[in-house]
Amino acid sequence: MPPASLLELEDIHVSGRGAPRLQGVSLRLRAGERVALLGPSGAGKSTLLAVANGLLVPDRGQVLWQGAPRARSGRARRRQQARIGTLWQDLRLIEELSVQQNLNAGRLGQWGWPRALLNLLLPLESGACAATLRRLDLDPALLDQPVAALSGGQRQRVALGRLLRQEPALLLADEPLASLDPRLAGELLGLLLEEGRAPRALLLSLHRPDLLSGFDRVVALRRGGVQFDLPVAAVEPGLLAELYAGAAA
Amino acid sequence: MSAGSALADPSWPSPGRWRPAAPLWLLLPALVLLPLLALLPGLSHGGGWSLVGRFALAALRPSLDPLVLASVLRGLGVTVGLALLGWAVSLALGLALGVLSARVVWGGSRSGGGGAWPAELIRKLLALPRSIHELLWGLLLLQLVGLQPAVAVLAIAIPFAALVARVVSDQLDALPTGRLEALRAAGVAAPAALLTALGPPLLPQVLSYGGYRLECALRSATLLGVFGLGGLGTELRLTLQSLAFEELWTGLWALLAAMLLLERLVGWLRRRWTMPARFGLGSDTGSTGTDRANNGGPARGRSSDVGRRGRELLLAAALLLPVLVVVAWALQVDPGSLLRWQPLPPLPPADWAAVAALPWPTLVGNTLVLTLLAAALAVGTAPLLLLLVRPWPWGQGLVQVLWALGRLWPPPLIALLLLLVLRPGVVTGALALGLHNLGVLGRLLLESAEHSGETREQALLGAGCGPRLALLYGRFSGLARPYLAYGAYRADVILRESVVVGLVGATGLGSQLLEALSAFAYDQLAALMLVYAALTLLGEELSDRLRRRLLSS
């Protein structure tokens, strides 16, 4: 029996100025799958990720989370959102707060007001935060540092740490490697592939066909539609050339 | 679940790390609401609630009587005209004085010294007009020259010019001098070098501040009217005191429309001419912390915009001049009338013993308590209200209307309204000033929140965080420092303003001043004004230090 599907997108349409941003996209993600999202700029990768993490409601089509339609509002929706974690290209760390407070920001979906306020006053759940940092090869002594004082690579890891503190079932990442040097990009991708293993799933958009080897599947978008959806082994150079052909036009 | 409870955590917490983080700072001033709420029941005098109900209901059915409408429009025209004239005079005067009181203009170094003593002298001289509220100037001038339209214009222009001068000279002295030195070294004459090197980076700041001062001028002109200096304010006070709430609301809605129109216009021009937002006055900290190199050259518009802005500015100035002349003519503002002093009543010999016998510690103490209460109320309530209404789409619109009414209402009118249900005193005065300034601060906070931290808030929402917490963590974190810095500036304004709620009695120096003014007790008046000015200057210094500390790092 195949693993249960975490996220299902059915016939998703999102309109845009001029051309539609997504048209008729269907995609199913199962637990344990690590999927790379490829496509030229403007193909709709970021829009697809925004629909997947729930920040964008499609004009048409259905989004199912663990087999049930997305809750429309309120607590149920927030609970679902909390199960889907996103690593943003610009990280979106809260510069004014410490590393620990940023890590704990991943828990805000579960926490009520008292703890959320206490997090701004005291170091909360230091043990769990230190463990998260160690898992990401960071020194737990960084916990009380302001994130603004960290290096680029450290910030990437703290953002990933916040994501892990959220304990999501599905990891989304929107071109997380775009602005990193090759060494940092390799390290971060390794971490993401590691964390995206079963029972989680990973959907990551990237621009680097040379980095596909660790993924299970490749979904290619072009002009808002799915060009192909294949296991990594079946992705041939010809397909990639076709995907990016005339992309600049 | 790896997230154990905080108490089960072995390393919880090490004492050296007890420090509230940025978003909490924003909520701390709201703690003042607790004692205020505790005090209010004791201050209520029981009666008047039915009047408050009538007042609130009247908002929905303002009088549309043609006579009332005509008089409201006439009053509004006078108020707007006086504001415009006072503002224009203050801007011209302030720019000139600002340039003259900049150290860099006299060739001095930024930290003073050099040959910059004239700048220092002018700065010191300007402290006095700046420290005295326009209402006091108005009432003093009224006694000297009688009821003239020019009195209100000058009353606004005197303190505003000194405030503009201070901002202009501070900005000038904060600009990098490299360009100026390069031009001077190349043999360019001083005036041309100053204009070329310092003019362009100064312009957006001055325009932005000038726009803000125009909004202030409208509020001040209304306030002066409340004290009988003409315009809509007079009618607002009369209708409130005669409990003609329907007619009162006709005036209020008209004033609201004028104020919102003006704010929109200023905001539009600010965006069109790429001026810095008010909030980040003198700083770039309103952004989300993404590091932008800002070398003191705030305008980063495209080069094609720069020429356009210059042309449009010239055009606007060319249009403004005839408008000012027409307004002055229509309002019969005669500058010459300011020179014809009316005979003063025979002054009794000064009674310094009576002056010394004034309860100074209480007067000063009450003034400070009033200021701090009002400032904390205004600074603390704005973020709290925004957090409260965040989940509801209509909530933000509602607080915006309430805030607009708050800044529209001159504080003495709010105080009079509060007197319907509360006893006079410091707390009532503080409430009136606090509510008025809440309207000013709230609008700024909301505008800044809209332009800062959006992606961070989205990220938190995407992670299942509730809308209030997402606002607190995502947007308020970056706003805490600039907002509190602005709050410090506002506290300084409130201290100056505390005189205007003097009419609700027992509010410290303010009420004593108004009493001395109406009793022609010039000895007391002089002493009170001196103490008041000293207090204001001290407050200004403290607020400046606090602001610099908040904005540095």
Asked whether residue A88 is assigned to any structural domain, the reply reads no
Sheet holding A217-222, edge to edge: A84-87, A170-174, A201-205, A34-38, A217-222, A225-231
Q: Give pLDDT, residue B290.
A: 32
User: Which CATH number belongs to the domain containing residue A226 in this structure?
Assistant: 3.40.50.300
The pair of structure tokens assigned to B522 is 């010039």
> pLDDT digits over A89-147, tens only?
889 999 989 999 999 999 998 888 999 999 998 889 999 999 999 988 899 999 999 99
Which residue in A has a C-alpha nearest to residue B478's C-alpha?
Answer: A96
For residue B22, give the H/E element and its range.
helix B22-27
Residues A175, A60, single domain; the answer is yes
Among the partner residues A98, A109, A125, nearest to B463 by beta-carbon distance: A109
Count CB atoms within 10 A of the CB of residue B71.
Answer: 17
The answer to whether the Cβ–Cβ distance between B17 and A131 falls below 8 Å is no
The answer to whether the Cβ–Cβ distance between A109 and B4 falls below 8 Å is no
The pair of structure tokens assigned to A59 is 């004009």
Which DSSP string do the residues of B188-204 spell out, in sequence order? --HHHHHHHHHHHHHHH
Domain boundary among A132, A167, A202: A167
Region B4-31 average pLDDT: 62
> pLDDT digits over A143-195, tens only?
999 998 898 889 989 999 999 999 999 999 998 888 778 888 888 899 899 88
Q: Give pLDDT, residue B258.
A: 92
List chain A residues with CB under 8 Å of B20.
Answer: 120-121
> pLDDT digits over B485-529, tens only?
888 888 988 998 888 888 777 678 888 888 888 888 888 889 998
Region B40-62 average pLDDT: 87
Which residue in A has a C-alpha nearest to residue B4's C-alpha?
Answer: A125
Residues A59, A100, single domain; the answer is no
List chain A residues with CB under 8 Å of B463.
Answer: 81-82, 85-86, 105-106, 108-109, 166, 168
Domain boundary among A167, A182, A204: A167
Count CB atoms within 10 A of the CB of residue B44.
Answer: 13
> pLDDT digits over B339-355, tens only?
778 777 777 778 888 88
List chain B residues with CB under 8 Å of A78.
Answer: 464-466
Distance in Å, alpha carbon of A134 to nearest chain B alpha carbon? 14
Cis? peptide before B20, omega within 30° of 0: no
For residue B338, give the H/E element and its range.
none
Pairing of strands A217-222, A68-69: unpaired
Among the partner residues A96, A115, A128, nearest to B4 by beta-carbon distance: A128
Residues A27, A53, single domain; the answer is yes
Domain boundary among A141, A167, A193: A167
Residues A37, A134, single domain; the answer is no
Domain count within chain A? 2
Asked whether residue A192 is assigned to any structural domain, the reply reads yes
Residue B288 has pLDDT above 50, yes or no: no
Distance in Å, alpha carbon of B219 to nearest chain A alpha carbon? 36
Asked whether residue A90 is assigned to any structural domain, the reply reads no
Residues A159, A200, single domain; the answer is no
Residues A173, A78, single domain; the answer is yes
Query: Hey, what CATH topology would domain B63-286+303-344 get?
Result: MetI-like fold (1.10.3720)
Q: Give pLDDT, residue B341.
A: 80
Region B366-388 average pLDDT: 93
Residues A34, A101, single domain; the answer is no
Rounded to the nearest integer, the mean pLDDT of chain A is 89
The answer to whether the Cβ–Cβ distance between A96 and B3 falls below 8 Å is no
Q: Give pLDDT, residue B300.
A: 43
Q: Give pLDDT, residue B433.
A: 93
The answer to whether the Cβ–Cβ distance between A96 and B456 falls below 8 Å is no
Domain spans in chain B, listed from the N-terminal domain onward: 63-286+303-344, 350-553
Residues A153, A219, single domain; the answer is no
The answer to whether the Cβ–Cβ distance between B455 and A92 falls below 8 Å is yes
Asked whether residue A232 is assigned to any structural domain, the reply reads yes
What is the Cα–Cα distance from B441 to B450, expressed in whole angstroms?
14
Name the percent of chain B lying above pLDDT 70.
89
List chain B residues with CB under 8 Å of A92.
Answer: 455-456, 458-459
Query: Residue A112 belongs to what domain range?
Result: 95-167
Distance in Å, alpha carbon of A98 to nearest chain B alpha carbon? 8
Residue B413 has pLDDT above 60, yes or no: yes
Residue B287 banded pLDDT, cuts 50, 70, 90: very low
Burial B343-371 (b: 16+ CB within 10 A, else e): eeeeeeeeeeeebeebeeeebbebbbbbb
Query: Hey, what CATH topology would domain B350-553 get?
Result: MetI-like fold (1.10.3720)
Q: Give pLDDT, residue B373.
A: 92
> pLDDT digits over B450-491, tens only?
888 889 999 999 888 989 999 999 999 988 888 988 888 889
Residues A51, A79, single domain; the answer is yes
Residues A59, A119, single domain; the answer is no
Q: Does B391 touch chain A (CB under 8 A)?
A: no
Count of helix runs (H) and strand runs (E) in chain B: 22, 0
Task: Name the residue among B342, B280, B9 with its Cα closest to residue B145.
Answer: B342
Residues A33, A144, single domain; the answer is no
Asked whether residue A89 is assigned to any structural domain, the reply reads no
Q: Give pLDDT, residue B336.
A: 81
The answer to whether the Cβ–Cβ distance between B474 and A94 falls below 8 Å is yes
Residues A212, A244, single domain; the answer is yes
